[in-house]
Amino acid sequence: QVQLVESGGSVVQPGGSLRLSCAASGFTFSSYGMHWVRQAPGKGLEWVAFIRFDGSNEYYADSVKGRFTISRDNSKNTLYVQMNSLRPEDTAVYYCAKQRQLLRGSLFDDWGQGTLVTVSS
Amino acid sequence: DIVMTQSPDSLAVSLGERATIHCKSSQSVFYSSNNKNYLAWYQQRPRQPPKLLIYWASTRESGVPDRFSGSGSGTDFTLTISSLQAEDVAVYYCQQYYSTPPWTFGQGTKVEIK
């Protein structure tokens, strides 16, 4: 079955950097777009970034544009997000999620357990 | 961006009773060329990641109990749990996939046992 395992979360100071990883298994990773979605403590879900199956295009939420970079290594079945210039408001559990492509649209059908990023001095 | 607004923010329902959650989008998520509403519902149980429940506004994901149903069209949608069970305690989110990016969620509705 589909398994997504995030790692890399930790405590980081404001202005710092962090790279999260998401190891995928149980499906053909190279055939699916992938997302990062975050959830601040006690808050709702916020989409962060998306990358196409072949890495050809990336899309970002305005709140992270220019600071975060999503990438993937299809040979390693791994998704990444490089987070720079971190702010306290980036504190959240970060989930990776697999895309389900539908007619003219897509949504998230499998999620990892998440990894916690805390931005604090 | 399409803004999704859910109501209420929380509700408490007795076991076996009906729970109803509303979701409103700031613009229509209905695509007339295929007659589909680009609206999904997710369930997030405590300390768990979200789980896809319903898509196309009313299509249940495989394995989702039939006490969960979705309805609505255009800008107004409803998730109904016909007979609340203890395992249904969760936060429920609606999400549009009509106009992306960004993919946008409602703020969530917390369902508890009365």
pLDDT confidence of residue A103: 83
Beta bridge partners of A83: A18, A68
State both tokens at B82. 């016909």
For residue A58, what are the contacts with CB-CB under 8 A and spacing of at least 6? A49, A50, A51, A52, A69, A70, A71
Q: Which chain B residues touch A if contact means CB-CB below 8 Å?
A: 31, 34, 36, 38, 40, 42, 44, 49-52, 55-56, 61, 91, 93, 95, 97-98, 100-108
| B84, HSE (Cβ side, Cα atoms, 13 Å) | 20
Q: Convert the pLDDT of each residue in A43-52 to its tens digit.
A: 999 999 999 9
Tell whether the model's pLDDT for residue B106 goes beyond 90: yes
pLDDT at B21: 98
State what percent of residues in chain B have pLDDT above 70: 100
Rounded-to-integer distance, Cα A5 and Cα B72, Å: 35
Across all residues in chain A, what is the average pLDDT? 97
Write b or e for each residue in A22-61: b if 16 or more Cβ atoms lie within 10 A of its Cβ, otherwise e: bbbeeeebeebbbbbbbbeeeeebbbbbbbebeeeeebbb
Compare CB distances from B108 to A44, A60, A111 and report the shortest one's residue. Answer: A44
pLDDT at B71 over 90: yes
Cβ neighbours of residue B72 closer than 8 Å, sequence gap 6 or more = B23, B37, B39, B57, B78
The pLDDT score that the predictor gives to residue A105 is 87
Q: Which residues pair with B71 in a beta bridge?
A: B78
Q: pLDDT tens digits for B17-33?
A: 999 999 999 999 999 99
Inter-chain touch B102–A112, beta carbons under 8 Å: no
Q: Output DSSP code: residue A90.
A: G
Q: How do residues A60-91 score in pLDDT, each as one tens digit? A: 999 999 999 999 999 999 999 999 999 999 99
Q: Is B87 helix (H, G, I), strand (E, B) or coil?
A: helix
In Å, how far is B7's CA from the nearest CA of chain A?
Answer: 14
Whether the pLDDT of residue B3 is over 90: the answer is yes
Residue-level length of chain A: 121
pLDDT band at A93 (very low <50, low <70, confident <90, very high): very high
Q: Is the pLDDT of residue A104 over 90?
A: no
Q: Is the pLDDT of residue B104 over 90?
A: yes
Smallest CA-to-CA distance from B78 within B86, B88, B68, B87 is with B68
pLDDT surpassing 90 at residue A6 = yes
Return the structure tokens found at A54.
Answer: 């072949």
A74 min Cα distance to partner chain B (Å): 23
**What value does the mean pLDDT take over residues A16-39?**
98
Phi/psi at A29 (5° precision): -55, -40
Confidence of residue B7 (pLDDT cuts 50, 70, 90): very high
